[in-house]
Amino acid sequence: MRRVVFNQKGGVGKSTITCNLAAISAQQGLRTLVIDLDCQGNSSHYLLGRGAEEPELPGAAEFFETTLKFSIRTPQTSDFIVNTPWENLDLMPASPLLDELHSKLESRYKIYKLRDALQELGDTYDSIWIDTPPALNFYTRSALIAAERCLIPFDCDDFSRRALYTLLDNVKEIEADHNPDLSVEGIVINQYQARAALPQRTVQELVDEGLPVCQPFLSASVKIKESHEQARPMIHLDPRHKLTQEFVALFHALD
């Protein structure tokens, strides 16, 4: 299954959700790949720690750069994938070079190259998770075209709700124009505060509208900051933590 985690709003937990669900997938024995398409590289740092800063590390930027050049020997997609410290979990890292390549890739319409690359991988991976930038740009469109399911992280405020409807329309447009296999799998409620009135009301309104809100909701917790700092997904940092168990339950709900 190929999933893209996407929201045009920043700070809603795309990288956190991507890496924690992917880590659980790998821990369950599935051959799992994370593709980081955000030039900030949050998923790359989360899974590799300081290793994400190695200058010779191949990744998504180098993959896309090869699509701009003609070569007698076409590199394999696997050339741009690295191992993580976690068994069954691989990564195509991001780098700031993605930002430099963006306009060239867009002008030369390389929008289907990621889809073709994932098809080339064939049966190498059971589960692929794609982290995206907080914008509907070339990389996000590439991911949506390459994926089968879309997960939308959502934090419970009015700005996020207003943006959600436009986001859903954008996904539907890409489904109609480029990828009939794409569907919105669910809206993932992140940083949920169960005792606060606004989150409860906002989420209930989404449910009442018939939108595909995922269960369970992911609780707000300072433990996730420790997870980021140590570059250890929650399943490896603290398997018994409440938030870890919510991630596990969410993973199985999607599965």
CATH code for position 216: 3.40.50.300
CA pair distance 28, 34, nearest whole angstrom: 15
Contact 225, 20 (CB under 8 A): no
**Coil, helix or strand at residue 148:** coil
- In angstroms, the CA 203 to CA 243 distance is 18
Is the pLDDT at 48 greater than 80? The verdict is yes
Tell whether the model's pLDDT for residue 72 goes beyond 80.
Answer: no
Least-confidence region, from 31-35, 175-179, 203-207, 230-234: 203-207
C-alpha 168/C-alpha 149 separation (Å) is 13
Q: Which residues contact 68 (CB under 8 A, 6 or more apart)?
A: 101, 104, 105, 108, 110
Q: How many domains does the chain have?
A: 1
d(CA 102, CA 85): 30
Domain assignment of residue 79, given as a range? 2-254
SS3 (DSSP) at 128: strand
Question: Which range is most confident: 58-62, 156-160, 163-167?
Answer: 58-62
Classify 131 as helix, strand or coil.
strand
Q: For residue 135, how many C-alpha atoms fall within 13 Å in the half-sphere facing its CB?
A: 9
Average per-residue pLDDT for the chain? 94
Q: Tell me the mean pLDDT in the region 39-60.
A: 94
Q: Please tell me the predicted confidence (pLDDT) of residue 69.
A: 85
Is the model more confident about 74 or about 60? Answer: 60
Per-residue model confidence as pLDDT tens digits over 119-139:
989 889 999 999 999 999 999
14 vs 188: CA distance, rounded Å: 10
Tens digits of per-residue pLDDT, 240-254? 999 999 999 999 999
Task: Average the pLDDT over 198-209 and give the result.
Answer: 92
Kindly calculate the radius of gyration of the chain based on its CA atoms and give it in whole angstroms: 18
- Asked if residue 170 has pLDDT above 70, the reply is yes
216 preceded by a cis bond (ω within 30 of 0):
yes
What is the value of pTM for the model shown? 0.96
